[in-house]
């Protein structure tokens, strides 16, 4: 696992963008799998700006990490996030884009469908964020490290974060999510984890300084060489490690 410590959110977003851009420039048919939420907002902006300038995405496939169970046009849905923060803002078309259907009637079938997509389009990069409780995707604390794509029930902390991020009432806040499991996450060639802000500092400390344990899902990534983590000063503020 490689860690970059950066100053702030701006620098983190720029560095993440450069890593994704280099994959797009290097590969003939790049496959990029993004996540959503607060952390990658600026990265999406940088991506849009580059495409509006001259970054060619016409051979790039775009996939995702997870999706809330609920209507595809709900304010919190990953589909809507991609539309508002990316595809609506560019004229160019991705080679292929395939997101998870959070409104699928048959969830088992939807999982099988998306697992086939993941096989068909091997990911060059999988973007991840970190939950305040250490989750990656919706692999919440206690999820076995051999998990494969499933519908996860959110913990109280995750429900609170979603509620805050999308300014929802208790009733509106979703509490279940389709998520890639650890196994699918780790099948990507490269994994890029972004962590910003003081509210993540405790999770970062447990991630890097405690034992690898299912109680801290992200700690599993420490076993892998293909993982890059970018952490800003606020998120790193509780670490004892030498930087």
Does 131 interact with ligand PGA (rule: CB under 6 A)? yes
Sheet-wide strand order for 150-153: 66-68, 176-179, 150-153
Beta carbon of residue 197, minimum distance to ligand PGA (angstroms, whole number): 7
Whether 135 sits among the annotated catalytic residues: the reply is yes
CA-to-CA separations, 238 to 38, 118, 161, 207, 241, in angstroms, rounded: 21, 36, 21, 12, 9
Whether 211 sits among the annotated catalytic residues: the reply is no
Give the total of residues touching ligand PGA (CB under 6 A): 8
Tokens of 240: 């004892």
Question: Interface residues for ligand PGA in 138-167 (CB under 6 A)?
Answer: 161, 165
Does 217 interact with ligand PGA (rule: CB under 6 A)? no
Beta carbon of residue 106, minimum distance to ligand PGA (angstroms, whole number): 26
Would you give the binding string for ligand PGA spanning residues 163-202, x where CB under 6 A is met?
--x-------------------------------------
- The residue assigned the tokens 């599993």 is 220
Task: Give the active site residue among 67, 140, 184, 232.
Answer: 140
Q: Please tell me the distance from the alpha carbon of residue 74 to that of residue 85, in angstroms, as a whole number.
A: 14
Does 37 interact with ligand PGA (rule: CB under 6 A)? yes
Does 39 interact with ligand PGA (rule: CB under 6 A)? yes
User: Which DSSP symbol is given to 179?
Assistant: E
Q: Residue 68 or residue 114: which is nearer to ligand PGA going by CB?
A: 68
Among the listed ranges 3-11, 33-41, 53-61, 71-79, the one in contact with ligand PGA (CB under 6 A) is 33-41
Q: Which residues of 174-209 are buried (b: 16+ CB within 10 A; e: fewer)?
A: beebbbbbbebbbbbebbbbbbbbeebbebbbbbbe
Whether 96 sits among the annotated catalytic residues: the reply is no
- The residue assigned the tokens 């003939």 is 28
Where are the alpha helices (H) located in the chain, listed in sequence order? 9-26, 41-53, 78-85, 107-120, 156-165, 182-187, 201-209
Whether 103 sits among the annotated catalytic residues: the reply is no
Task: Give the active site residue among 35, 66, 232, 234.
Answer: 66
Q: Which residues bind ligand PGA (CB under 6 A)?
A: 37-39, 129-131, 161, 165
Catalytic residues: 66, 133, 135, 140
């Amino acid at each position: 696992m490689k860690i970059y410590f950066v100053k702030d959110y701006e620098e983190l977003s720029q560095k993440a963008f450069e890593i994704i851009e280099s994959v797009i420039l290097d590969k003939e048919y790049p496959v990029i799998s993004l996540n959503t939420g607060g952390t990658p907002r600026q990265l999406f902006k940088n991506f849009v700006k580059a495409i509006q300038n001259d970054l060619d995405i016409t051979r790039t496939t775009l996939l995702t990490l997870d999706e809330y169970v609920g209507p595809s046009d709900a304010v919190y849905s990953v589909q809507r996030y991609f539309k508002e923060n990316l595809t609506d803002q560019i004229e160019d078309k991705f080679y292929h884009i395939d997101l998870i259907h959070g409104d699928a009637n048959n969830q088992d079938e939807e999982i099988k469908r998306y697992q086939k997509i993941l096989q068909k389009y091997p990911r060059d990069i999988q973007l991840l964020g970190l939950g305040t409780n250490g989750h990656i995707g919706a692999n919440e604390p206690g999820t076995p490290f051999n998990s494969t794509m499933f519908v996860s029930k959110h913990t109280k902390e995750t429900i609170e974060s979603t509620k805050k991020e999308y300014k929802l009432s208790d009733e509106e806040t979703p509490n279940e999510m389709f998520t890639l499991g650890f196994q699918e996450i780790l099948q990507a060639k490269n994994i890029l984890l972004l962590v910003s802000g003081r509210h993540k500092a405790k999770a970062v400390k447990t991630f890097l300084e405690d034992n690898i344990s299912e109680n801290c899902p992200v700690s599993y990534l420490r076993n892998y060489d293909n993982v890059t983590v970018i952490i800003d000063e606020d998120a790193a503020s509780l670490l004892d490690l030498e930087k």
